[in-house]
Chain A
Amino acid sequence: MDMEDRTDLQPNDEGDAGVTGLLRDLYAPPAEGAYWEGLHSRIMANVDRNRGAVIPVNWWSDLASWTGPGLAAAALLFVAAGILWSRQNDEDLRTTYEAVTEPVASDVLPGAVQVVTAPHDGSSQREATFRYVLSH
């Protein structure tokens, strides 16, 4: 091992030489070339067998791959919710308008009743509603 690898050792952190020697002996990888040839073949065969399988490397990198589709789905949901909200708002406005402009039976309201009908000249329903409310 070169000196660069050992520079992060504390001055008194060198292991017991005997223990270190035994550790190296105990954990030494197999030395025979045939063993490594065999392992190489097994690794490549395993890759061939599982080429299509999806195995996450790390959960965070797996999550990262979903960021794009997730954002797109969120944007679509936002647009859809906006359209629904807008439609609902128009519906409420129309209901209010109709409730206000609908002819009322004379026995319900005493006296003269001014009946306002929906304009045919293209002016907005909202404006007509507003005028009716102001005149009463």
Chain B
Amino acid sequence: MTVPIRISDEERELVSLARKGDERGFAGLVRLHQRRAYIVARSIVMTHEDAEDAVQDGFLRAYQALDRFDPGQTFAAWLNRIVANAALDLARRRKVRNAEELSEAIPDVFRDPAEGGELRERLEAALAQLPDRVRSVIVLHDVEGFTHAEIGEMLGIPGGTARSDLHHARQRLRGLLGNLKG
């Protein structure tokens, strides 16, 4: 089934302005998409600060590649893939630089760590044990509601692999969290 491309008139106008070099166009696109871009980046990297860095890097890459944007697709899908690539690059660099420390780290969250208590801490520890891609898939699916196909496109994997990663993530989390419900 072909999913119709939904692109608003406002977005089309902003893309057109940005491609002509009008900074107001790109500023408008940033305003429209920065929240979702943050979520995409945050699902891949381990910290709020790294997510911000990846978002900034992703928007810069998008700005510099505007002439290669195909107006036949949505700007959001194109941007999300670029941001995901920026986040994956950052995650790889972090891993290479500090592999041992990262493997033992508990994710640094933006919100108050005391909020949510023990269950939250256990979830954080369990998520830290998941492979990066598997963790990204469950977060993108459950937090923001991306489909398997959208996640696959963002992470450069087939939709079926995203589906299988999601299933794997649920199994691993159930195993790691044990009696969470109790």
Q: Does A58 contact B (CB under 8 A)?
A: yes
Partner of B123, one of A6, A7, A22, A29: A22
Chain B interface size band reads: 35 or more
Contact B180 A16 (CB under 8 A): yes
Q: Known contacts A1-B145, A8-B148, A58-B85; is A43 also within 8 Å of B181 by CB?
A: no
Contact B180 A19 (CB under 8 A): yes
Q: Does B20 contact A (CB under 8 A)?
A: no
Contact B120 A22 (CB under 8 A): yes
Chain A interface, DSSP helix/strand/loop, else mixed: helix
Contact A5 B145 (CB under 8 A): yes
Contact B56 A46 (CB under 8 A): yes
Contact residues in B for A55 (Cβ distance below 8 Å): 57, 60-61, 64
Most buried by B among A24, A54, A55, A56: A55
Binary per-residue interface labels of chain A (14-47) against chain B in the complex, 1 for a CB within 8 Å, 0 otherwise: 0110111011111111100000100110111011
Binary per-residue interface labels of chain A (50-85) against chain B in the complex, 1 for a CB within 8 Å, 0 otherwise: 100111111001000000000000000000000000
- Give A42 to B63 CA distance when docked, in angstroms: 14
Q: Known contacts A18-B181, A36-B34, A39-B34; is A23 also within 8 Å of B142 by CB?
A: yes
Contact residues in B for A107 (Cβ distance below 8 Å): none
Contact B56 A42 (CB under 8 A): yes
Chain B interface, DSSP helix/strand/loop, else mixed: helix
Partner of A43, one of B56, B110, B115, B166: B56
Contact residues in B for A16 (Cβ distance below 8 Å): 170, 173-174, 180-181
Contact A27 B116 (CB under 8 A): no
| Distance to closest chain B CB from A1 (angstroms) | 4
List 6 contacting pairs A-B, 8 Å CB cutoff, sorted by A: A10-B163, A13-B166, A29-B42, A39-B38, A47-B59, A50-B60
B residues with CB within 8 A of A? 23, 26-27, 30-31, 34-35, 38-39, 42-43, 52, 55-57, 59-65, 68, 82, 85, 109-111, 115-116, 119-120, 123-124, 127, 138-139, 142-143, 145-149, 159, 163, 166-167, 170, 173-174, 177, 180-181
Closest 6 A-B residue pairs measured CB to CB?
Answer: A1-B145, A57-B65, A46-B56, A27-B143, A5-B145, A43-B59
